[in-house]
Amino acid sequence: MKLKIFNICFVLTLFGCIQDVEYKITKIQDKTIEVSEEEDSLINAIILPYKDSIETEMNEVLTYTNTILNKGKPEGTLGNFVTDLCLNYANADICIMNNGGLRTSIHIGEITRGKIYELMPFENELVVLKLNKKDFNEMIQHIIEKGGEPFSGFKLKVNNEKTEIVTPFSFKEKEYIKVLTSDYLANKKEFFKGKKQEKTGLKLRDVIIDYCSKKDTIDIKLDNRFTIKNEK
Domains of the chain: 2-34 (no CATH), 62-229 (3.90.780.10)
Residue 16 sits at the vertex; the CA angle it makes with 14 and 18, to the nearest 5 degrees, is 80
Mean residue pLDDT of the chain comes to 86
Q: How many CA atoms lie within 13 A of 193 on its CB side?
A: 5
Predicted confidence (pLDDT) at residue 1 exceeds the cutoff of 90: no
Alpha helices of the chain — where are they, by DSSP H?
A: 41-58, 77-86, 113-119, 133-146, 183-188, 204-213
- pTM for the structure as a whole: 0.77
| Segment 68-85 mean pLDDT | 97
What pLDDT is stored for residue 26 in this prediction? Answer: 67
pLDDT band at residue 230 under the 50/70/90 scheme: confident
| Segment 56-74 mean pLDDT | 94
What pLDDT is stored for residue 138 in this prediction? Answer: 96
Residue 30 CB: number of other CB atoms within 10 A?
9
Question: By percentage, how much of the chain surpasses pLDDT 70?
Answer: 77
What pLDDT is stored for residue 12 in this prediction? Answer: 45
Of 27, 14, 104, 103, which is closest to residue 68 (Cα–Cα)? 104
d(Cα 182, Cα 95) in Å, to the nearest integer? 9
> Is 193 exposed, middle or buried (CB count within 10 Å of its CB: 0-12, 13-18, 19+)?
exposed
pLDDT band at residue 47 under the 50/70/90 scheme: low
8 Å CB contact between 43 and 28? no
Of 231, 181, 218, which is closest to residue 63 (Cα–Cα)? 218
| Segment 197-220 mean pLDDT | 97
Q: Which residue has the higher pLDDT, 82 or 25?
A: 82
Predicted confidence (pLDDT) at residue 170 exceeds the cutoff of 70: yes
| Residue 110: its H or E element | strand 109-112
Predicted confidence (pLDDT) at residue 106 exceeds the cutoff of 50: yes
Tens digits of per-residue pLDDT, 5-37?
445 554 444 444 445 556 666 666 666 666 556
